[in-house]
Structure 1
Amino acid sequence: MTSVSPFGPSTAGAVGPYSPPAGPPGVSADGFRRAFRGHPAGVVVITADAGRGPVGFTATSLTSLSLDPPLVSFGIGTSTSSWPHLKVAETAVVNFLGAGQEALARRFATSGADRFAEPTRWHRLPHGEPALDDVSAALRVRIESLVAAGDHRIVVARVEDAWSDGRGGSLVYHDGAYHPLTASAPRDHR
């Protein structure tokens, strides 16, 4: 079966051509959110300390940008409590959440909470950055640039250290909820 989409012909899972809604062009905030509800994203917690105590927030916008040099990006809202700290921080930690860490994701997504108080378990890295305990993987990054993007900033950062526990399993955000994604058996890539 072949169908046409606004992006050209497609044969996989096609449901017909795209039809924009009637009315004036543009998109509402609700329409924008609805479009992304079906797009699953990995969940991380970004932590930093710019000299005023540890801060952190849950993010689903982490992207690998470059292998050489190793660069990542993530977004942060300029109205968040973490933004005043992150905009002056030199380094940060990207903490990849495992399949069983929904409570941690929710804690770091809650406004007004003391995110580093009990029951959060964390430690400082040798360079002083706060890092969460028992995460599936982490990156220590040096912030290289902040790019204005509407009501957010895109943080571009160089990876300086990376580690993983090798257990597999991730936490993903999809359709307005957190979901555990467990590791499957290794594939034979012959």
Structure 2
Amino acid sequence: MTVTVSSYSETSSDADAVAGIAPKRFKQAFRRYPAGVVVVTADAGLGPVGFTATSLTSLSLDPPLVSFAIGTTTSSWPHIERAATAVVNFLGADQQALATTFATSGIDRFAAPTDWRRLPQGEPVLNDVAGWLRLDIEQLVPAGDHRIVIARVVDSWLDEGRSPLLFLDGAYHSI
């Protein structure tokens, strides 16, 4: 099998070839790539914070590690930067409104009608989600205008009968 890799297209300028593709093209490429939707929640001692993410990735089985990305200009970043733990809440196919709530800036995302509680260790977790992972944050890695959070999974709960919420081409979908 022959694989050809090209980093240059006819629409690229010489500057684009050095700097990377244009942001618009980058977004277009990833709009066509489906991703699971989660809400990451945490509390670094100043009250609960949370944000919608599609960047969750499993990194390692032994030890059980995951990663997710967060923008350094987001309102949640200063809290995640100081947090020792976090929770990844897997959203079910019927939870588009919850995904939208946690993707909206300038609001209290934990106000009613958001239904949530604290785990015995104190982390905020959303009720009625398709599952969750409780994480110990191990590393924050700079990556452009984001940070990649690497965390060890220390506990989990899954509702195996639920279909996941997916994001594709700017809209929510289910399987």
Question: Partner amino acid for 1:95?
Answer: N
Match of 1:37 in 2: 31
Match of 1:177 among 168, 171, 174: 171
Please state if 1:134 is matched with 2:123: no
Matched residue count: 170
Please state if 1:102 is matched with 2:96: yes
Query: How much is the aligned-residue C-alpha RMSD, in angstroms?
Result: 1.6
The CA deviation at 1:19 is 6.9
Q: Please give the per-residue CA displacement for 1:84-103, whole angstroms capped at 9, x wherever unaligned.
A: 00000000000000000000
1:137–1:162 CA contact under 8 A, matched in 2:
yes
Percent sequence identity over matched residues?
63
Q: Structure with the greater relative contact order (CA < 8 A, sep ≥ 6): 1 or 2?
A: 2
- Mapping of residues 84-99 of structure 1, within 5 Å: 84-99=78-93
Alpha-carbon distance in 1 for matches of 2:27, 2:104: 19
Which structure has the larger Rg? 1
* TM-score, with structure 2 as normaliser: 0.93
The CA deviation at 1:69 is 0.5
Alpha-carbon distance in 1 for matches of 2:10, 2:70: 30
The CA deviation at 1:113 is 1.3
Alpha-carbon distance in 2 for matches of 1:173, 1:21: 30
* TM-score, with structure 1 as normaliser: 0.85
Match of 1:167 in 2: 161
Structure 1 stretches (4+) deviating beyond 6 angstroms? none
SS at match of 1:85: helix
Counting helix residues as a fraction of each chain, which structure ranks higher? 2
Uncovered stretches (5+) of structure 1, i.e. residues with no partner: 8-16, 182-190
Uncovered stretches (5+) of structure 2, i.e. residues with no partner: none
